[in-house]
A = this chain, B = another copy of it.
Amino acid sequence: MSDLLDRLRGRGWRMTAQRRVVAEVLDGEHVHLTADEVLERATVRLPEISRATVYNTLGELVTLGEVIEVATDGRAKRYDPNAHRPHHHLVCSGCGAIRDVHPVGDPLADLPAAERFGFTVATVEVTYRGRCPDCATAA
């Protein structure tokens, strides 16, 4: 369960109470939290933690590749701790809920060289949009 903390320590991360709490919050619940939700949960364990620290720590985790940032169109970014299993996202346009999905096929291979405009293409994100069962009926 503290695989994440071990990995971070192994990379020379200076381990502070704040960083530990943020990492634990992400590692503990495998859902997609916003920065504010992370702050909220972190505050329960460490009441004096500041918003800036949460943002800094999330940013570092993203840079280290331990966490993926998921931008959901207007709403706040969400942070996905499941960075080590490649996947894409299914987003509810009603409530913003996110599920991890694993489509077959490789969209990177589907982009012909002629369509790359000289870019060095590094990643693809596939976002499926629709309505979750709750929002579909509520519509």
Interface size class of A (residues with CB under 8 A): 35 or more
A46 → B minimal CB distance (Å): 27
Copies of the chain in the assembly? 2
Decide: A132 and B110 in contact? CB cutoff 8 A: no
Decide: A90 and B119 in contact? CB cutoff 8 A: yes
* Secondary structure type dominating chain A contacts: mixed
A14 within 8 Å of B (CB atoms): no
Q: How far is the CA of A121 from the CA of B119 in the complex (A)?
A: 30
Contacts A74-B77, A103-B111, A103-B115 hold; do A129 and B133 have CB atoms under 8 A apart?
A: no
From residue 12 to 45 of chain A, which have CB atoms closer than 8 A to chain B?
none
Residues of A within 8 A of B (CB): 69, 71-74, 77, 90, 92-93, 99, 101-105, 107-108, 110-112, 115-133, 136
